[in-house]
Structure 1
Amino acid sequence: MFFSIIIPLYNRPQEINELLESLTHQTYLQFEVLVIEDGSTADAKTVVEGYSNRLDISYYVKPNEGQGFARNYGFAKAKGDYFVVFDSDCLIPPDYLNTVKNYLYSHPLDAYGGPDGAAASFTPVQKAISYSMTSPFTTGGIRGNKKGIGQFHPRSFNMGISRQVWEKTGGFIITRLGEDIEYSIRIHKMGFKIGLIADAVVFHKRRTSFVQFFKQLHFFGRARINIYKFFPGELKLVHFFPASFTLFLLFTIITNVIKTPLTYLCNIILTIFTLLIFFHSLISNKSVKVAFLSIIAAFTQLTAYGLGFIQDLWKRVILKKS
């Protein structure tokens, strides 16, 4: 099995350097790497050229259209039997491709996704953000969890498709705002077999500050409504949780200001939720600092996603604006 690794890139030369370095340590060597520079002003040409004698690597430059169409560009150039997509802020463990290859031989899949986690080298903030994005108390276990809710949808930070899927689907039809989930749903609806390879883990750096994290998750909340416009049936009850949490948090703040009979109950509920996050993160990360930061990350994630979700639900669904 020959893999084509597709990496869209926009103004992140340092990130691609760390990602490519991790790929040089793969134990399975039947793969090529395609880096698609999507109209960057700070390009990574010099960085990529530095790996020309260590990887089977190609570098392409195209006008900026967003990550979805940059991946399509890579698919069209790829030579592999199977296309693997990574985000540029990932680090890939040495046994990743070997794990995927062995799984696909024993459990054939047309498309797959894998989990993400935090590497030991990550900062405490990055570890807290990673915890928040994978915690059962924030995402409900829908991101790379064997016991996740509903149909599993691979995400673009760690996903793969067969050449047949690319040829039949034509790739991404939107380039941002939930493009990977839309593509995963469409692959499933066309009858292809999708699955989770639980051991195909990547280390996902995500954002380095809570401000950046807030902006990213606000975008994710808006993206869920964008997916709803394509597939109304894919909007599940679990997707309303961040918005409900955001409204509950606002209500709790108001009750504490005006002192209503519900103030005590709201504070108790919020305290229990906060303690659950703290102790679960403490057990998972074995760090008091990361556990405290996980509370900030979780509240940031839920409120940012919730606000983005509410914003576009009101604008695009209730008011029916474009």
Structure 2
Amino acid sequence: MNPLISIIIPVYNIASKIKPCIHSILQQSCQEFEIIVVDDGSNDGSGNICDEFQNLKNIQIIHQPNSGVTAARQKGIENAHGEWICFVDGDDTLPTDSLQVLIDNSHNVDIVVGNVIPITPTGEMLKKESVSEAMLLSSTDFIKKLLEHKIGTYPVGRLFKRSLFDHFTLDLPRNIRRGEDFIMNIRLAAKAKQIRVISNHVYNYIQYPDSSLHRFVNSWNYEKVFDKHLMESLQNAHLQHTCKESIIHAHIRSLLGGLTDPELSRQDSFFKQIKKEAKEVALSKKEKAILFLAGIPFPIRKRLYVILKKLSVR
């Protein structure tokens, strides 16, 4: 008999963190799951720690040469048997009732989205719930909210019907290292009929200072390459016109990635496109500030950005 949920955990050099993650899943109140751990070529002993769990009947341990987190998730999907896919990062944990809460809200939908709560390694909550009320959304409305960052673009804290995945879902070049989850969500949602968003806390996103996202250095060129793949996904789903306003808001947000990069200038063709698009929608104060900063010379912009960032954390 196939499991109800396939939990896929990509692992890379997190030897001190993987055990709490796996234990939090094994202690779930809902036990109708399989765990697929994909060790993505770790060199710190993470793979050996994963192997300690290989004798448990509902755990698969897969080792592969280092290929990146997207390839690790793809390997997990290829080996999954569950009706639902649930992604968990190997340095995070699940509250005890997470799977039960998600599955209880899965009736007549293709995706269930719960609340992901950032916490410190000692368990202190850093941010309150981001979704205050439950919503039942169409595919298009959900994608619009993703583009406008009104719903988190991460892959975790949610269930996806396994039938939504195909060869295209995770087909991205390895150099797309930030935001690949965003594109995956867009591609899956485009194939879904209905998505349920719930306010329940279902995922602990543990904030470690040495995480890969903290090490990622953004650039304006990266934002332009990322936009190419994002737009390709929307065009393949014939959503570029339906979601036009939301795409414009996403483009303005992409300017944030270039504010500290001298390559972003008023002469840049993508910046000119965004500035022209921005005239077609109502802008928030933050969006107006981003456009203003992006359009001033880099030395001044950099100094202003540093000052504003310091003020924002006070």
Q: 1:39 to 1:214 in 2, by over 3 A?
A: closer
Q: How does 1:85-100 map to 2 (within 5 A)?
A: 85-100=87-102
In the alignment, the residues of structure 1 paired with residue 132 and residue 154 of structure 2 have an alpha-carbon distance, to the nearest angstrom, of 9
1:228 matched to 2:227? The reply is: yes
How far did 1:220 drift? 9.2
* 1:199 alignment counterpart: 200
Q: 1:115 to 1:221 in 2, by over 3 A?
A: farther
How far did 1:179 drift? 1.7
The AA in structure 1 aligned to 2:93 is L
In the alignment, the residues of structure 1 paired with residue 133 and residue 15 of structure 2 have an alpha-carbon distance, to the nearest angstrom, of 31
* 1:315 alignment counterpart: none
| Uncovered stretches (5+) of structure 2, i.e. residues with no partner | 136-141, 232-239, 241-245, 260-288
User: Bigger relative contact order, structure 1 or 2, given CA contacts below 8 A and separation 6+?
Assistant: 1
Q: How does 1:255-266 map to 2 (within 5 A)?
A: none
Q: How does 1:294-309 map to 2 (within 5 A)?
A: 295=313
Q: 1:169 to 1:160 in 2, by over 3 A?
A: farther
SS at match of 1:198: strand
In the alignment, the residues of structure 1 paired with residue 27 and residue 168 of structure 2 have an alpha-carbon distance, to the nearest angstrom, of 32
In the alignment, the residues of structure 1 paired with residue 161 and residue 24 of structure 2 have an alpha-carbon distance, to the nearest angstrom, of 23
Q: How does 1:20-169 map to 2 (within 5 A)?
A: 20-52=22-54, 56-105=58-107, 108-119=108-119, 122=122, 130-131=126-127, 150-151=145-146, 152=151, 154-166=153-165, 168=166
In the alignment, the residues of structure 2 paired with residue 83 and residue 48 of structure 1 have an alpha-carbon distance, to the nearest angstrom, of 20
In the alignment, the residues of structure 2 paired with residue 112 and residue 121 of structure 1 have an alpha-carbon distance, to the nearest angstrom, of 26
* 2:179 alignment counterpart: 178
CA RMSD of aligned residues (A): 4.1
SS at match of 2:9: strand
In the alignment, the residues of structure 1 paired with residue 293 and residue 109 of structure 2 have an alpha-carbon distance, to the nearest angstrom, of 41
Count of aligned pairs: 250
The AA in structure 2 aligned to 1:114 is G
How far did 1:219 drift? 4.2
SS at match of 2:87: strand
In the alignment, the residues of structure 1 paired with residue 219 and residue 103 of structure 2 have an alpha-carbon distance, to the nearest angstrom, of 31
Contact 1:26 1:94 in 2 (8 A): yes
How far did 1:156 drift? 2.1
In the alignment, the residues of structure 1 paired with residue 201 and residue 111 of structure 2 have an alpha-carbon distance, to the nearest angstrom, of 13
The AA in structure 2 aligned to 1:162 is K
Q: 1:39 to 1:52 in 2, by over 3 A?
A: closer
**TM-score, normalised relative to structure 1:** 0.62
SS at match of 1:48: helix
Contact 2:169 2:187 in 1 (8 A): no
How far did 1:49 drift? 3.5
The AA in structure 2 aligned to 1:155 is Y
More displaced stretch, 41-50 vs 13-22: 41-50
SS at match of 1:22: helix
Q: How does 1:212-251 map to 2 (within 5 A)?
A: 214-216=214-216, 218-219=217-218, 224-232=223-231, 233=240, 235-237=247-249, 240-241=252-253, 242=256, 243=259, 244-245=289-290, 248=293
* 1:310 alignment counterpart: none
SS at match of 2:37: strand
How far did 1:88 drift? 1.6
In the alignment, the residues of structure 1 paired with residue 64 and residue 132 of structure 2 have an alpha-carbon distance, to the nearest angstrom, of 31
Contact 1:154 1:196 in 2 (8 A): no
In the alignment, the residues of structure 1 paired with residue 4 and residue 121 of structure 2 have an alpha-carbon distance, to the nearest angstrom, of 30
Q: Which one has the bigger helix percentage?
A: 1
Contact 2:113 2:159 in 1 (8 A): yes
* 1:8 alignment counterpart: 10
Using the aligned pairs only, state the percent identity.
19
Contact 1:33 1:55 in 2 (8 A): no
Superposed CA offset, 1:172-212 (max 9, x none): 01153322111111223335433433315211113326x97
How far did 1:14 drift? 1.6
How far did 1:39 drift? 1.4
SS at match of 1:173: coil
In the alignment, the residues of structure 2 paired with residue 170 and residue 117 of structure 1 have an alpha-carbon distance, to the nearest angstrom, of 29
SS at match of 2:178: coil
In the alignment, the residues of structure 2 paired with residue 223 and residue 114 of structure 1 have an alpha-carbon distance, to the nearest angstrom, of 29
In the alignment, the residues of structure 2 paired with residue 3 and residue 221 of structure 1 have an alpha-carbon distance, to the nearest angstrom, of 39
The AA in structure 1 aligned to 2:97 is D
| Uncovered stretches (5+) of structure 1, i.e. residues with no partner | 136-140, 258-262, 278-294, 297-322
Q: 1:70 to 1:30 in 2, by over 3 A?
A: same
